[in-house]
């Protein structure tokens, strides 16, 4: 039989190719394009090679933003993950009115748009009319998130914990629900303590979903923009200027498109790298437990 | 070790049980003698596991009492009752090694390290896991995991009873025999009261001194394997035990004569006027195929050769009715074409009224 060569099938993938090109590749390449050129307006560009990347890597401003960012992410992970597990452990186990009520209450913060969350806390924390700000001030505590950087950090962290612990709770709760009763019964028979039940049954069984929770919370908190932008606008001074806030300042505020492009590429690759490490960890741990 | 008494016990999963069908466990009075090996046999959903969980204290009964010797433990916790239980699906602590898994129940009871070591080694030898003691439990196969669960069940020496809830479901057949034999040996050696829940009659009959048969939340018969086979107290027991189960044929009984359709069968015992629906039970093992026209006329539909015997599926027709009868023919017995009649072994015939066994009298 004669083999016919027909390459027309390639046209079948054309729509997808176009879609991906317009949605991802072309915008990304524009950024790459900016990151290696300089412009003085009038659509005139000069090739500068990797200069912007070097500048960003050595810029003090970037280092400060990165360390603020890392501190913020570390703090909220350290609070949200244990707190999420703790809340999930204490939610009603059996399906019924109370567990449904808990789920709805817990899920509520997740349904609020991010800029609304920022606005809520901005009002909530105000010293003149906000419930939180006014109460703290009347207790004699020097709290003013627009002037005091500790107060600003405190407010942003409490806001993020309020907004996102629910996600950890829901994931852990789902993980806990999937543990068969026999494990708890066997633990009772073996006279295991509450701590041992957690350490040797619950924690290993929710390890998979917990890693997903850590991954999601890491990515989201590392890219946080809207809430602190609405709440503090990065202030007071630069106290709460996290990476993405700084990036926007640089790109739109100062119109430094070159450095901003180089910056966003490194930002993107950094998150990708850490997420990949998490993913590998996750896949490995799943392989172990089955 | 203790004698376990269930007194007027019943359980319903519904908070406001209205009718008897709301009860997973109907009223039960039963004594589990100290040191005996029991099998709790019944089909899925008959209340076996519920009963077991009530004995171990994982479940509080809606009514009645559980006594260990003379102590009322109805509302005592599992640890106060000092009971071991092995579940249907393997439960191992993934974070621990096999050794730590086996030592866990002992460690939680704060026993000495030397004693724990000695016990763990002994138990590992019994379940054949001595070479894997330092392996992580999470990487093991399902039957190895179940062996560890069994091991954790027998590692404590002073328990009042050991309860097994269909523990061999996930184990492959070869290993099943081995483990069951070991459990039986273990029972003889340690003398613990053991209750073994299963829906597999072979498992029940080989493991236990006494078998408790349950159906729809009720105990229908307690007896030795032989009693269950020869004198099923309820037609359900007859059906459930044996493969195929007992033939239960609609009959009428007058004195020491039974009628199946228009065929008369002479009985060894004589029965008074019986109430309700009368049935005659006869095991397929106790029926012979014959060419004597004095027997019950049948039509043979199918012969299944299962190796060491043949199962004959036949039916007897009279008037407009047809009743199915199974017969077991021993290996080496030829079945010829003219064998169209059945002969029953008289002393193996049981008579049931409304599904319960009736006691006959020697005819005068």
- What does B125-182 look like in DSSP terms, one character per residue? HHHT-GGGTTSBGGGS-HHHHHHHHHHHHHS-SS-SEEEEESTTTTS-HHHHHHHHHH
Is A169 a residue whose pLDDT tops 90?
yes
Provide the shortest C-alpha distance from residue A189 to chain B (in Å). 6
Residue B82 touches chain A, beta carbons under 8 Å: no
**Can you say how many angstroms the Cα of residue A153 is from the centroid of all Cα atoms in its chain?**
17
**How far apart (Å, rounded) are the C-alpha atoms in residues A213 and A286?**
15
DSSP annotation of A121: H
Query: Which of the four pLDDT bands, split at 50, 70 and 90, describes residue A228?
Result: confident
Cis peptide before B166 (omega within 30 of 0): no
Q: What pLDDT score was predicted for residue A94?
A: 79
State how far residue B364 is from chain A, nearest Cα, in angstroms.
58
- pLDDT value, residue A1: 64
Over the stretch B126-149, which tens digit does the pLDDT of each residue have?
888 888 888 888 888 888 888 888
Q: Is B80 on the interface with A (CB under 8 A)?
A: no
Are B135 and B111 in contact by the 8 Å Cβ rule? The answer is: no
> Where a domain ends, among B193, B210, B240?
B240
Distance from CA of A74 to the nearest CA of B (A): 27
Q: Is the pLDDT of residue B364 over 70?
A: no
Considering the domain architecture, whether residues B281 and B176 belong to the same structural domain is answered as: no
How much of chain B, in percent, has pLDDT values that exceed 90? 3
CATH homologous superfamily of A59-255: MetI-like (1.10.3720.10)
Average pLDDT over residues B152-161: 85
Supply the pLDDT for residue B143.
81
Q: Is residue B364 part of a domain?
A: no
Q: Helix or strand or coil: residue A254?
A: coil
Mean pLDDT of B169-186: 81
Spatial distance between the Cα atoms of B34 and B160, rounded to a whole number of angstroms: 9
CA–CA distance, B102 with B117 (Å, rounded to integer): 10
When the pLDDT of each residue in chain B is averaged and rounded to a whole number, the result is 85
Distance from CA of B15 to the nearest CA of A (A): 14
Whether the bond between A171 and the residue before it is cis, its omega within 30 degrees of 0, is no
What residue has token string 């066994």?
A: B357
State the average pLDDT for chain A. Answer: 86
Mean local confidence (pLDDT), B96-112: 88
Which range has the worst mean pLDDT, A34-48, A201-215, B237-251?
A34-48
B346 and B267, same domain (yes or no): yes
Q: What is the mean pLDDT of residues B155-167?
A: 86
CB contact under 8 Å between A185 and B87, yes or no, is yes
In a domain, B362, yes or no: no
Q: Do A185 and B88 touch (CB under 8 A)?
A: no
If contacts are CB pairs under 8 Å, which of residues 124-143 in chain B contact chain A? 138-139
Regarding whether B60 and B34 lie in a shared domain, the answer is yes
Q: Is the pLDDT of residue A235 over 80?
A: no
Any idea where the domains of chain A sit in the sequence?
A: 59-255
CB contact under 8 A, A191 and B105: yes
Residue bearing the bigger pLDDT, B46 or A42: B46
Residues B35, B177 within the same domain:
yes
Strand partners, B31: B5
Per-residue pLDDT tens over the stretch B188-205: 887 888 889 888 888 888
- Given a cut of 60, whether residue B281 has pLDDT beyond it is yes
Q: In this complex, is the C-beta atom of B356 within 8 Å of any C-beta atom belonging to chain A?
A: no
Q: Has residue B56 got a pLDDT over 60?
A: yes
Structural domain boundaries, residue B207: 4-240
Inform me whether the pLDDT recorded for B122 exceeds 70. yes
User: Closest approach of chain A CAs to the CA of B117, in angstroms?
Assistant: 17
DSSP string, B228-279: HHHS-SBHHHHHHSSSS--EEEE-EEEEEEEEETTEEEEEEEEE-PPPS-EE
Measured CA angle at B320 (ends B319, B326), to 5 deg: 90
- Predicted local distance difference test score (pLDDT) of residue A213: 92
**Does B79 reach chain A within 8 Å, measured CB to CB?**
yes
pLDDT at A289: 47
Please report whether residue B320 resides in a domain: yes
Q: Residue B111's domain is classified under what CATH number? A: 3.40.50.300
Question: How much is the average pLDDT of B104-123?
Answer: 88
- pLDDT of amino acid A122: 86
Mean pLDDT, range B4-21, rounded to an integer: 79
For B76-83, what is the mean pLDDT?
Answer: 83
Q: Which two tokens stand for residue A121?
A: 């806390």
| CB contacts, 8 Å: A285 with chain B | none
* Final residue before a domain boundary, out of B174, B207, B240: B240
For residue range A240-268, list pLDDT tens digits in order: 888 888 888 888 877 778 888 888 888 88
Instruction: For residues B103 and B184, state if they share a domain.
Output: yes
Q: Note whether B209 and B128 are same-domain residues.
A: yes
Output DSSP code: residue B292.
-
Query: For residue B309, is it left (φ>0), alpha (ψ between -120 and 50) or beta?
Result: beta
* Cβ contacts of A193 on chain B, cutoff 8 Å: 108
Average pLDDT score over residue span B29-46? 85
Q: Are residues B269 and B232 in the same domain?
A: no
Q: CA B153, CA A186: separation in Å to the nearest integer?
A: 9
Residue ending a domain, choose from B240, B266, B301: B240
Q: Which residues pair with B109 in a beta bridge?
A: none
Contact (CB<8Å) A186/B95: no
For residue A77, give every residue at least 6 positions away whose Cβ sits within 8 Å of its Cβ, in sequence order, or none.
Answer: A214, A217, A218, A221
The pLDDT of residue A290: 40
């Amino acid at each position: 039989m004669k083999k016919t060569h027909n390459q027309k099938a390639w046209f079948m993938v054309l729509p997808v190719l176009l879609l991906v090109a317009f949605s991802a590749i072309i915008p990304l390449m524009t950024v790459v394009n900016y990151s290696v050129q300089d412009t003085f307006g009038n659509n005139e560009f000069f090739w500068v090679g990797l200069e912007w990347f070097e500048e960003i890597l050595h810029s003090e401003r970037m280092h400060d933003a990165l360390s603020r960012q890392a501190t913020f992410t570390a703090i909220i992970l350290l609070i949200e993950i244990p707190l999420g597990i703790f809340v999930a452990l204490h939610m009603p186990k059996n399906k019924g009115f109370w567990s449904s009520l808990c789920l709805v209450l817990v899920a509520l913060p997740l349904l609020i748009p991010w800029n609304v969350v920022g606005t809520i806390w901005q009002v909530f924390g105000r010293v003149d009319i906000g419930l939180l700000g006014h109460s703290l001030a009347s207790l004699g505590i020097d709290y003013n998130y627009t002037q005091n950087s500790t107060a600003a950090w405190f407010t942003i962290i409490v806001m993020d914990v309020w907004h996102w612990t629910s996600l950890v709770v829901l994931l852990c709760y789902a993980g806990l629900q999937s543990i068969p009763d026999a494990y708890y019964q066997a633990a009772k028979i073996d006279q295991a303590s509450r701590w041992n039940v957690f350490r040797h049954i619950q924690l290993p069984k929710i390890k998979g979903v917990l890693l997903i929770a850590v991954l999601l919370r890491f990515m989201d908190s590392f890219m946080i923009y809207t809430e602190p932008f609405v709440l503090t606008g990065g202030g007071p001074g630069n106290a709460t200027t996290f990476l993405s806030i700084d990036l926007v300042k640089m790109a739109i505020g100062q119109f430094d498109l070159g450095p901003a492009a180089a910056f966003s590429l490194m930002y993107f690759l950094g998150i990708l790298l850490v997420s990949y490490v998490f993913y590998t960890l996750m896949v490995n741990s799943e392989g172990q437990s089955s | 070790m203790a004698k376990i008494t269930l007194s007027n016990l019943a359980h319903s999963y519904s908070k406001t049980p209205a009718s008897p069908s709301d009860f997973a466990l109907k009223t039960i009075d039963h004594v589990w003698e100290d040191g005996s090996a029991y099998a709790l046999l019944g089909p899925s959903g008959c209340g076996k596991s519920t009963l077991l969980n009530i004995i171990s204290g994982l479940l509080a009964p809606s009514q009645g009492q559980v006594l260990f010797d003379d102590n009322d433990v109805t509302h005592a916790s599992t640890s106060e009752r000092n009971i071991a239980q092995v579940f249907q699906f393997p439960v191992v602590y993934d974070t621990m090694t096999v050794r730590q898994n086996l030592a866990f129940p002992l460690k939680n009871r704060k026993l000495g390290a030397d004693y724990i070591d000695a016990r763990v080694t002994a138990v590992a030898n019994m379940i054949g896991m001595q070479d894997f003691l330092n392996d992580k439990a999470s990487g093991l196969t399902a039957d190895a995991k179940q062996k560890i669960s069994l091991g954790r069940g027998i590692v404590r020496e002073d328990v009042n009873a050991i309860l097994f809830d269909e523990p061999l479901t996930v184990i492959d057949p070869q290993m099943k025999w081995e483990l069951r034999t070991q459990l039986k040996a273990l029972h003889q050696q340690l003398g613990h009261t053991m209750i073994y829940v299963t829906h597999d009659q072979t498992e029940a009959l080989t493991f236990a001194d006494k078998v408790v048969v349950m159906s729809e939340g009720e105990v229908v018969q307690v007896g030795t394997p032989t009693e269950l086979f020869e004198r099923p107290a309820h037609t359900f027991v007859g059906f459930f035990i044996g493969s195929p189960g007992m033939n239960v044929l609609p009959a009428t009984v007058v004195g020491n004569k039974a009628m199946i359709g228009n065929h008369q069968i002479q009985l060894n015992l004589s029965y008074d006027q019986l109430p309700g629906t009368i049935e005659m039970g006869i095991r397929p093992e106790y029926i012979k195929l014959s060419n004597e026209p004095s027997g019950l006329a049948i039509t043979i539909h199918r012969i299944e050769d299962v190796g060491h015997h043949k199962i004959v599926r036949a039916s007897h027709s009279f008037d407009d009715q047809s009743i199915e009868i199974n017969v077991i023919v021993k290996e080496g017995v030829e079945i010829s074409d003219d064998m169209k009649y059945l002969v029953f072994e008289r002393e193996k015939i049981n008579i049931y009224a409304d599904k319960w066994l009736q006691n006959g009298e020697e005819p005068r």
